[in-house]
Structures are given as structure tokens and as C-alpha cells.
Amino acid sequence: MGRIRKIKNADILIKNYHWLLQKASDHYFNNSHQLYIEVGSGKGDFIIQNALKYPDINFIGIEKDKTIVLKILRKIDTLSIKPINLLIICDDAKNLLVWFKINSISKIFLNFSDPWPKKRHEKYRLTSKSFLDLYHSLLIDDGRIEFKTDNEEFYFYSLQSLDSSKQFKIIYQTQNLYLNKKELVSNIQTEYEKKFVALNKPIYKIVIKSN
């Protein structure tokens, strides 16, 4: 979808926004609401719209690219109503255990993650065994993962990976989300999703819960 032009000093500029989490803590919000996280938040449309729509749920977006994180933070800053239930982490997904306690997350969103198509890069796929093990340790009992992609091979790889893990139960799967009007009622689009739908590309989705 095109390269992101790097913003000079993005690593410094992001520290000017209080929505950025700069160190790990046992408590990120002054409440006991459920915590939902998005791993790979892109430009932030999905996580921001969720936070605005569901004020009684806490949301944290994780994105490793500092330029993209800056874009998310700037987008939040322009809102007339700024969500108090949203924070952003600038870090790699492999470091989730640095930021979150075991059995502390109710839902994880994986939206249009990089499919890493080459076999030698399998360990980087966010639905590989090592990442599924990581998510399972972080999720509460019956915690859920919602996965969306436009990549057919990545979808089937993820199904196979989930079947092998035995730690999750698939409760919903589709090879064309936009044929299911019931599912679309609560669907919030990402930036990529809007572009793919406009191109009539099918959107694949899997919803699972931890065993």
C-alpha cells in the first residue's frame, strides 16, 4: 500500500503526547474495565473509533514504527472529544510481556498484519505458534482474538496454526466478511480495510477464544 515517509525526530516528538505509554506499569487506567489491545495499529483509525464507541472498555494500541505512532498521536490530538480510555505503545509485538501482566487482556485485535510470505520469515507472522503462545498467556479465561486479513494464504496459514496450537477454539471464520450483514453491524474498518473493500477484495476474518 506504499511506503510511509519517515518523520524526522519522530522518536522525540512522540514523547510530547500523554497518550503514549513510555514505561510499563501495573495500572494504565484508573478503573477496572476490560482491556482490549490492537497489535499493529496502523494509522490508528480502528483503535480510535473503538475507544470512542466503547467508553467503558480500555484500549491500548501497539505499533512499532515511530513515524506511524506519531501519526496516531497527532490524530488523537485533533479530536474534538478525546478518549480517556485509549493509550498507545511504541514497541514490537514480541515484547508484549514487558507491558502486560499474565491473564490481563480480554481481547486482542490483529488487523491486516504483515503476512511475511517467505517461509524463512514465519517466526514474524503474528499468528505463528510463538505468538499464539504469547497471546494465550496474556488473555483472561475465554479471552478472544479477532483476526482480519486480505491475504488468503495468511488466512489459511492462521487457521492451520490455530488448529495445531490446541489453546484456542475457533468460534467464527469467513472468507468474505462483507457477505455477512450481521457481522458488519459491529464491524469497524481499518484504513487498509477501506481500501481493500473499495477494490472489491474479500476480507477474511477469524474469531477465537482461549481454552
Point out the catalytic residue in the list 114, 133, 142, 163.
Answer: 114
Q: Give the residue from 2, 1, 126, 13 showing the smallest Cα distance to 67.
A: 13
State whether residue 192 is helix, strand or coil. Answer: helix
Distance of CA 138 to the CA centre of its chain: 14
Q: Cβ distance 79 to 106 under 8 Å?
A: no
Rounded Cα distance, 118 and 77, in Å: 38
User: Is residue 114 among the annotated active site residues?
Assistant: yes
Rounded Cα distance, 94 and 44, in Å: 20
The greatest distance separating any two alpha carbons of the chain, rounded to the nearest whole angstrom, comes to 46
And the C-alpha cell for 32? Answer: 477496572
How many residues would you count in the chain?
A: 211
Tally of CB atoms within 10 A around 196: 21
CA distance between the termini of the chain: 36
Q: Give the residue from 112, 159, 103 showing the smallest Cα distance to 1.
A: 112
Active centre residues (catalytic): 114
